[in-house]
């Protein structure tokens, strides 16, 4: 459906913006390495099913793309951050990883290793942007491209919400876990969405309240 495709495309766009920004500026300035490490963890733990199940060619290619691009991003960020100190990238990610794992143990579609990892990845994804937002808030301003990247990334899960509503009516599908974490993820972004709207529409300076 249109929401799902638009969501996946905005996810792809966000990754291209990010990689392009790093390559053009030849710098990791303003980009949180921690957020990108969390995304790599999210993709690797969610897509372990690549090894033993097949849904569609689209699905498989996208999964391979997300895993490989997230690892590539980390490599590039490491390469370009040698000379700069990321003063502001000091969010304690263990405070995101540990609770996500506990929530994965409590809420899952079956007490199997793969299902626990899948649930863990959803919880972790919902809060993975926090180090990046924290960094943005501390530095007070940001390159427009970086904010475009965060916007596209946030839009992707926001678009999954109408996708789930559509699938509920069209297919009778209702994945409580995905919907709950998806709503949390969108709420985490909502303040950012508002600020982005203000900045882009009214062209005012960027700051996170």
Partner 1 sequence: LKGGIIHDEL
Positions touching partner 1 (CB under 8 A) are: 4, 8, 11, 46, 49, 55-56, 59, 62-63, 66, 109, 118, 160, 163, 171-175, 178
Q: 66 vs 151, which CB is nearer to partner 1?
A: 66
For the record, the structure tokens of 35 come out as 């957020």
43/67 Cα distance (integer angstroms):
6
Name which of 47 and 206 has its Cβ closer to partner 1. Answer: 47
- Which of residues 60 and 137 has its CB atom nearest to partner 1 in the complex? 60
The tokens describing 97, both together, are 């990883």
Give residues with Cβ within 8 angstroms of 53, minimum separation 6.
none
Least distance between partner 1 and beta carbon 161 (Å) = 12
Please, what is the minimum distance in Å from the beta carbon of residue 8 to partner 1? 6
CB 118 within 8 A of CB 45: yes
Pick 126 or 142: Cβ nearer partner 1 = 126
State the helix-helix crossing angle for 176-202 and 113-127, rounded to 10 degrees.
Answer: 20
**Which residue number, 179 or 208, has a Cβ lying nearer to partner 1?**
179
- Buried b / exposed e along 148-161 (16+ C-beta atoms within 10 A): bbbbbbbbbbbbbb
Q: By the 8 A CB rule, do 124 and 41 touch?
A: yes
Question: Which one, 87 or 169, has the nearer CB to partner 1?
Answer: 169
State the minimum distance, in angstroms, from the CB of residue 174 to partner 1. Answer: 6
| Min CB(119)–partner 1 separation in Å | 11
Minimal distance in Å, beta carbon 131 to partner 1? 22
| Centroid of chain to Cα 102 | 20
In the complex, minimum distance from the CB of residue 81 to partner 1, in angstroms, rounded to a whole number: 28
Instruction: Count Cβ atoms below 10 Å from residue 22 Cβ, excluding itself.
Output: 23
Radius of gyration of the chain (CA): 17
Structure tokens at 16: 């291209």
Place of tokens 């700069």: 84
């Amino acid at each position: 459906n249109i929401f799902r495709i638009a969501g996946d495309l905005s996810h792809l766009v966000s990754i291209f913006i990010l990689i392009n920004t790093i390559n053009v500026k030849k710098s990791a300035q303003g980009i949180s390495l921690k957020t990108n490490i969390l995304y790599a963890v999210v993709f690797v733990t969610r897509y372990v099913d690549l090894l033993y199940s097949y849904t569609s060619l689209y699905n498989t290619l996208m999964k391979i793309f997300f895993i490989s691009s997230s690892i590539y991003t980390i490599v590039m960020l490491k390469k370009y951050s040698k000379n700069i100190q990321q003063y502001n990238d000091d969010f304690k990610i263990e405070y995101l990883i540990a609770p996500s794992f506990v929530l994965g143990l409590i809420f899952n579609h079956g007490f199997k290793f793969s299902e626990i990892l899948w649930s863990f990845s959803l919880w972790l994804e919902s809060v993975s942007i926090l180090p990046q937002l924290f960094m943005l808030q501390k530095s007070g301003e940001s390159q427009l491209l970086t904010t475009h990247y965060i916007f596209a990334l946030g839009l992707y899960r926001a678009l999954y919400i109408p996708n789930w509503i559509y699938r509920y009516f069209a297919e009778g599908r209702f994945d409580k876990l995905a919907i709950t974490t998806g709503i949390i993820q969108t709420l985490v972004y909502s303040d950012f969405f508002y600020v982005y709207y203000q900045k882009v529409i009214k062209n005012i300076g960027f700051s996170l309240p």
